[in-house]
């Protein structure tokens, strides 16, 4: 008679996400996850191939959650306000789950690792606002500009790189306004 399953893939991924936030990537071990879900480490391999697979699953779950957060905002009638709401939601997510956020925006040696469906849903709100601000022809370029600016700012903030004083919240809001203004001035080509 087979032994009963003592954990689920969902529980393993959630435990991994929690460990990631408390101990970082270095502390995310199969043993730590096994301890968290109450099984022996070899039992994890019934659900997860290896640590790299666990990291991919955690990244995918984080992108899914980020997409859910972005989809919950920025669906109004004013794309300028929507962009501000999306940028704020991205920043709030990064502060809530900084290690997961960094994992999402860290280049991977396995670019095909994330679910294209999950990634597509996550970026859809930004693509919609980008198209409304810059036009359909420039939607992808505008979405990349928005994402690059916001991620650069947030990554520097999380790293403690803003050392010259001033109000970081005001600086972020300043950036939102300037990016919105720049994208709203439709390019000629």
The CATH number linked to 178 is 1.10.357.10
- Assigned domain for 161 exists: yes
For the chain, the domain total comes to: 2
Residue 188, classed as helix, strand or coil, is coil
- 4 and 63 co-located in one domain: no
What is the structure's pLDDT at 26? Answer: 92
Encode 111-148: b = buried (16+ Cβ within 10 Å), e = exposed. Answer: eeebbeebeebbbebbbbbbbbbbeeebbeebbebbbe
Please report whether residue 179 resides in a domain: yes
Kindly indicate the confidence band of residue 96, based on its pLDDT and cuts at 50, 70 and 90. Answer: very high
Give yes or no: residues 40 and 68 share one domain. no
Q: What are phi and psi of 18, to 5 degrees?
A: -65, -40
Q: What is the pLDDT of residue 4?
A: 45
- Whether 186 has a pLDDT exceeding 70, the answer reads no
Q: How confident is the model at residue 7 (pLDDT cuts 50, 70, 90)?
A: confident
Residue 92 shares a structural domain with residue 171: yes
Both 129 and 64 in a single domain? yes
Looking at the fold, whether 29 and 74 belong to one and the same domain comes out as no
> Is 158 a residue whose pLDDT tops 90?
yes
Do residues 137 and 162 both lie within one domain? yes
Query: Confidence band (pLDDT; 50, 70, 90) for 113?
Result: low
Q: How far apart are CA 124 and CA 71, in angstroms?
A: 8
Does residue 81 have a pLDDT over 90?
Answer: yes
3-state percent breakdown (helix, strand, coil) of the chain, nearest 5: 70, 0, 30
| Same domain, yes or no: 142 and 160 | yes
Residue 109 pLDDT greater than 80, yes or no: no
Residue ranges making up the domain that contains 91: 58-184
């Amino acid at each position: 008679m087979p032994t009963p399953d003592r954990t689920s893939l969902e529980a393993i991924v959630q435990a991994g996400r929690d460990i990631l936030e408390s101990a970082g990537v270095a502390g995310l071990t199969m043993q730590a996850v096994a301890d968290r879900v109450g099984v022996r480490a070899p039992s994890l391999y019934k659900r997860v191939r290896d640590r790299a697979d666990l990291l991919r699953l955690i990244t995918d779950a984080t992108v899914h959650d980020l997409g859910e957060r972005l989809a919950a905002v920025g669906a109004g009638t004013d794309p300028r306000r929507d962009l501000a709401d999306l940028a704020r939601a991205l920043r709030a997510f990064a502060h809530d789950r900084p290690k997961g956020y960094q994992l999402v925006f860290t280049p991977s040696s396995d670019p095909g690792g994330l679910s294209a469906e999950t990634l597509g849903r996550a970026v859809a709100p930004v693509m919609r606002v980008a198209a409304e601000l810059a036009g359909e022809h420039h939607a992808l370029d505008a979405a990349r500009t928005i994402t690059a600016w916001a991620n650069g700012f947030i990554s520097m903030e999380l790293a403690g790189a803003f050392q010259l004083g001033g109000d970081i919240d005001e600086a972020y809001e300043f950036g939102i306004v300037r990016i919105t203004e720049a994208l709203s001035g439709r390019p000629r080509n």
